[in-house]
A and B are shown apart, each in its own frame.
Chain A
């Protein structure tokens, strides 16, 4: 019986080649993208699944009176909490400290290093390959590696007991190797070392008091803990001990499971966008199949009636249709799996890999995705196999045998609603793509307040092996730059637009006591010139007038406004708690976008630093004469090749650095673009199939109309009109939804485009154009057919 069903299904699919191909194409592409999106969502939610009892794991978040929040607290807080709270099962600090160099034999390496307490593994059950998590960090001189690091140094051998040298001085014993975490994990870890090690560092001891927040704290609490009470307890403890309790509003307990989206809120947008996109694509694919299947049903009413007369029951007929659709669906799933592994997943990694790391698919780990695909296939098969069949199977045999379907009426409404729904989704995505595109274009092309063209930025924070010789050679290079006719300006600084540290400080005007929270950066006298940042008031730094010891500053316009100044004549700025007389303000620079356009320009203070002080500076920026980039790049690179350093010198264009700020959002745009094209493409595939069926059913009508004198154009209009109207309705539904969503999304941007009517009209027009084209091809074909022939066929 089943064999028979399969045989007939294959013949049926073969017979309707056009329809089968359209279905196969739409399904494969649709399911392929659903798989890709679903896999990334799965990878995201599954990334930390090996960490048990996550619901009881929390980290602390500081909320200042100024409304700022950050994940760190002063170092001593954790121990106070542990002492005071019996609810704590385990607790650990986690912090980086400098960028330590590790050495094994002659191999030197620098990896993301974190210092944690022995309790770390009691809180986070990470998959140990070698070693015992309970004791791994108990001894002070131990180190735990993640597998990829261990592999790099030791290959596949078990490195337990091996010695690694930390910063050329301390011997650490490898006590554990942990299997690699998913790139989507909340942690980006390379090596873990005990916090106890830090207690030997005078710089650490100096900072590890109640005035400096730099450590992240994790807790595992008893499930019965009253979180609100615990939070207020912690806040009270902190306020009691803080050097300046007035700056602290509260300390909050945040669930570990929300840590990723807390650090990068755009992840939530990407994940929920991916889920929405998968659901929508799936919906469109389903609607296509339903509509196309329903259309074929008209042709098959007679077939169904004959089967019923010969003794076939409803069940066997439904099974027949399910098998037919099942073959199509599972063939598509196989194709989409190839598409997913060979094309879409690499593409996805290309888009988000730089920010989140590349994910890969392995059958043993990711079998739930395979189960999902099979489940999805069964679901689609049953829905599209059963739903359209039900309506037809109940029709009386006596009418069915004549191929008449006058008992089925309401179908048009259902099908038209389906088409409207499909195109609403498609137009929605097109709208989103157009608006996203405009916003990114706006951010990338908006005046930044500085000139990013023709500037090379070199990274000069290279850990020089001999600081004196390095400084000498660096000065040599600066002299060469000075002498080069093609170097227009150059500057040395510890910040560069797109790369300003989150170095916030409270400063105040000693005359008025007015306080401003600003960001600090160190620059030399060449910085404003090199970047072409205009001065509003006062003067630029001057090598002859200023010395780094005076700490003169240049502020931006926003700082001046915030301080309520009209002039900087005799003005000084003082840091909170500073005992000096403050810093002389020598100039005011125009506001420039030193961070991306999503963020507003905040108050900024530049301190004067000497050009030749390699130690405190991180960037060398050089403005070159157009057309001479290569030679200047070579000049600088050569200069650094003579200087012994642990890190390699790298340089890039400032334009690229500025653009890179939008990499993630551009990645989102790429995804949206693909989904938008996909939805419209699949919708049109469905419509194309539907129209060819409709046209076939109307062959006689078209023939009669032609005999009665209807022109080809009139017939084309007649055949296309309804669909164009449906797409128009879809556009009208999609516009307000798109407006609502994108208006809300744009609010996250300090500098944003305003939504324009043409964005919506353009997307509607685009959808209409594609529809008209799709419908048109078929309509022209039908309208031009010879009426004599068509009347005969009927």
Chain B
């Protein structure tokens, strides 16, 4: 069978595009040797850096794929900052949602959400707010903004558009080789 190379050919390019296109300053920071990992959340227009970092953790906990680095989740959640800048209702939805989550984490674990060490404990905190508008909106957006990134598709063995490659007629549409004889 023709297997798929799980190493995304676009991985590096996308990391720059994903994190830097949304945060131009971060790209500059990279060029002068400052870690991009710390920079992406700093230049926000409406949501605080700490809110963005917590949102990243929340996104990872909602759809945890250990094979995916943070950059894909950052790309997925970064647009919330822009939406919050345009719409005060969105800003308070996200800010208040994160604040509540942090409060619940402090009540339970004496630390904010991002510092709760085990995923299982953080998932309990998310379960408590599963029906809230905040969680529903974030999850509903994330299921598209994460999985619709073409760059992650090879990690899931999905090849995307095929017509321009002539379809699969000569590229393994019927190459399964492990089935018992029918």
Please determine whether chains A and B interact with each other in the same assembly: no
